[in-house]
């Protein structure tokens, strides 16, 4: 982190469109990050959609490795035509210089362009590429929205919370910063989350949190954390995290009153609004992420 503070880029893999998810869907997340105390240094957040030039490249992502951003929080809203291979290569170089990376997607093939990311990309399983290794999981878990195919783990209604299980040893990301002896218990719920797992060949990665389907009772992975490690060339990679759903961070799932695109027709819940602990837990998790991903950070205790 440079002397002027921590610089974070919140970025989508798609251009802004009418009546669709966009970077505007994460305004509460941005406000939460900007309000965080990181020692005596401020946190600066840039939030943008992908804005390709006539060449097809997003000028910010294409040069992220040469930027002064410390962290990239990447929201996979595409279904294949998202970030390019050259942009993915720049993101890989960003991690090679110590940058922290969060990758977040959702059901079926949302975020499919992540497949070209080194390391973290292999943590994400989709419908058409890099399928879950367990063939018994290649079927619909969410059975209430037939237009969405697998992976689509049903953790609850939008607006409700889900109880999460922190796997031992409990990762610092899942410790309550207000009470280090307490483990965070809640994430926002969503009817059709995507699938993530720790790449078997990467010793720096492990699943740190799982949820449980309200449809089938089956457990599924929520978060994969990648510790800082050295690549074969000796460069030290920044930390990274892979999340199963953008809806852990979306305005609509923190507060359904913020609204959603018109194609979101599933019934909503009130759990996040009625349970102060659930609302506090996701904000505590965001604080932990912000600090843990920073290049010259101390992991949250």
Q: Is the pLDDT of residue 154 over 90?
A: yes
Once rounded to an integer, what is the mean pLDDT over residues 132-153?
A: 96
Once rounded to an integer, what is the mean pLDDT over residues 218-245?
A: 93
Write the CATH number for 74.
3.40.50
Of 142-151, 231-240, 263-272, which gets the smallest average pLDDT?
A: 231-240
Residue 298 lies in a domain: no
Residue 172 lies in a domain: yes
The domain of 163 spans 6-293
Quote the tokens at residue 76. Answer: 């996979």
Phi and psi, residue 290, nearest 5°: -60, -45
Strands (E) in the chain, as ranges, are: 6-12, 43-48, 71-75, 100-104, 124-125, 161-163, 165-166, 175-176, 179-183, 186-188, 195-196, 205-212, 219-226, 229-230, 236-237, 240-243
Q: Where are the alpha helices (DSSP H) in 160-296?
A: 251-254, 271-274, 276-293
What's the pLDDT at 301?
A: 34
Residue 1 lies in a domain: no
What's the pLDDT at 230?
A: 84
Closest CA to 237 of 98, 89, 65: 98
Q: What domain count does the chain have?
A: 1
Residue 301 lies in a domain: no
- pLDDT tens figures, 11-26: 999 999 999 999 999 9
Q: Give the pLDDT band (50/70/90) at residue 115.
A: very high
Quote the tokens at residue 207. Answer: 């699943």
What's the pLDDT at 299?
A: 38
Residue 92 lies in a domain: yes
Q: Which residues contact 23 (CB under 8 A, 6 or more apart)?
A: 10, 11, 12, 16, 47, 48, 49, 75
Closest CA to 25 of 255, 223, 188: 255
Once rounded to an integer, what is the mean pLDDT over residues 164-190?
A: 97
Residue 277 lies in a domain: yes
Mean pLDDT, the chain, integer: 94
What's the pLDDT at 231?
A: 77
What's the pLDDT at 6?
A: 95
Q: Is the pLDDT of residue 298 over 70?
A: no
Residue 299 lies in a domain: no
Q: Give the pLDDT band (50/70/90) at residue 122.
A: very high
- pLDDT tens figures, 27-55: 999 999 999 977 667 899 999 999 999 99
CB 292 within 8 A of CB 102: no
Residue 46 lies in a domain: yes
- Rounded CA-CA distance 29/52 in Å is 24
């Amino acid at each position: 982190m440079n002397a002027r503070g921590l610089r974070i880029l919140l970025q989508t893999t798609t251009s802004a469109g009418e009546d669709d998810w966009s970077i505007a869907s994460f305004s509460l997340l941005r406000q939460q990050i900007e309000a965080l105390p990181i020692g005596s240094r401020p946190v600066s957040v840039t939030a943008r959609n992908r804005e390709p030039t006539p060449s097809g490249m997003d000028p910010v992502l294409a040069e992220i490795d040469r930027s002064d951003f410390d962290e990239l929080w990447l929201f996979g809203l595409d279904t294949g035509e998202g970030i390019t291979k050259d942009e993915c290569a720049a993101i890989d170089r960003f991690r090679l210089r110590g940058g922290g990376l969060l990758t977040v997607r959702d059901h079926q093939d949302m975020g499919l362009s992540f497949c070209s990311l080194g390391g973290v990309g292999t943590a994400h399983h989709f419908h058409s590429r890099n399928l879950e290794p367990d063939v018994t999981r290649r079927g619909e878990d969410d059975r209430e929205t037939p237009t969405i195919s697998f992976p689509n783990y049903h953790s609850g209604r939008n607006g409700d919370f889900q109880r999460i299980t922190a796997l031992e040893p409990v990762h610092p990301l899942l410790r309550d910063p207000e009470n280090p002896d307490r483990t965070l218990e809640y994430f926002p719920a969503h009817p059709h989350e995507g699938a993530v797992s720790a790449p078997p060949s990467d010793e720096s990665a492990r699943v740190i949190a799982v949820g449980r389907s309200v449809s089938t009772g089956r457990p599924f992975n929520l978060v994969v954390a990648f510790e800082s490690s050295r690549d074969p060339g000796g460069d030290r990679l920044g930390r990274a995290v892979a999340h199963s759903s953008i809806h852990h961070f979306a305005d609509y799932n923190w507060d359904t009153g913020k609204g959603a695109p018109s194609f979101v027709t599933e019934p909503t819940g009130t759990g996040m609004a009625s349970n102060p602990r659930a609302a506090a837990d996701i904000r505590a998790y965001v604080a932990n992420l912000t600090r843990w991903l920073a290049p010259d950070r101390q992991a949250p205790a």
